Amino acid sequence: MSKTLDALILPDGLAWDNRFDWVPVVQQVNVTITGGLVIQEALQTDGRPISLIGGSDHCWITKLELDALYAKASIAGLEMTLFLEADGSHQVVWNRSKSCIEAAPIVSNANPTDEQLYILNALHFLKVG
């Protein structure tokens, strides 16, 4: 059980893709009327993006498990606990600036069963705590 989202077990094939794309410092730069620079910086405590990336050859999930993820994504403002074995726990919300869940069936089926397998390509979150 190396990766979980609340009580849901996530596939081991998910990898934190954008781990080093974010720095916890925000900066605002303004130019004064005389041409000088005013630079303001502060620590950003929330909002770190966490994208867990899967793929077709190593990250599969059943329709039943995918339905459980979509049920969570359908709740506005839901804070969840994301546990990554190597990185500990993170309080997160869905990153809705993207498609928060990216998945596709391995084989298209007009009437998929709960056991049908899907490729889990990505889960997108924002850290809030």
Q: Please, which pLDDT band fits residue 1 given cuts at 50, 70 and 90? A: low
Tell me the pTM: 0.88
Span 25-82, pLDDT tens digits: 999 999 999 999 999 999 998 999 999 999 888 899 999 999 999 999 999 999 999 9
Mean predicted lDDT score pLDDT of the chain:
94
Q: Comparing C-alpha atoms, which of 128, 123, 103 is closest to residue 52?
A: 123
Indicate the number of domains in the chain. Answer: 1
User: 81 or 87: whose pLDDT is higher?
Assistant: 81
CB neighbours (10 Å) of residue 103? Answer: 20
Q: Please, which pLDDT band fits residue 109 given cuts at 50, 70 and 90? A: confident
Residue 56 is part of which domain span?
3-127
